[in-house]
């Protein structure tokens, strides 16, 4: 379970969007950086089109309530886990 303590500015959950529905008035939408989303899903052994948390501007503060695997990437930003910096594009086995 993931608990959002602080949402951050424009943090959203995104998938790859709705393809093939423009003729019905449904925009594609989806992630802004499909390359990074696909790469992170591969690193986590998720389906390539699985939803991801997309973070812009200031990031959220999250609490993982159980052990899980996490991965961050995309823009070159600094991310911390328990106040320790984590490396981008690397799967982390977070043990609660």
Q: Which residues contact 43 (CB under 8 A, 6 or more apart)?
A: 71, 73, 89, 90, 91
What pLDDT score does 93 carry? Answer: 93
pLDDT at 1 over 90: no
- Phi/psi for 84 (5° steps) reads -110, 135
What pLDDT score does 77 carry? Answer: 86
Q: Which residues contact 73 (CB under 8 A, 6 or more apart)?
A: 36, 39, 40, 43, 88, 89
For the CA atoms of 24, 25, 28, 32, what is the dihedral angle to 10 degrees?
Answer: -170
10-58 pLDDT tens trace: 899 999 998 899 999 999 899 999 999 999 999 999 999 999 999 988 8
pLDDT at 8 over 90: no
CA–CA separation, 56 vs 66, rounded Å? 25
């Amino acid at each position: 379970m993931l608990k959002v303590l602080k949402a951050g500015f424009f943090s959203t959950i995104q998938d790859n969007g709705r393809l093939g529905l423009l003729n019905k008035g449904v925009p594609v939408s989806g992630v802004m950086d499909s390359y990074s989303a696909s790469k992170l899903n591969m690193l986590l052994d998720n389906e390539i089109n699985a939803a991801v948390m997309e973070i812009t501007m200031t990031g959220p503060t999250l609490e993982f309530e159980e052990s899980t695997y996490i991965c961050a990437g995309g823009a070159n930003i600094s991310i911390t886990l328990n106040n320790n910096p984590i490396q981008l594009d690397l799967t982390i086995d977070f043990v609660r």
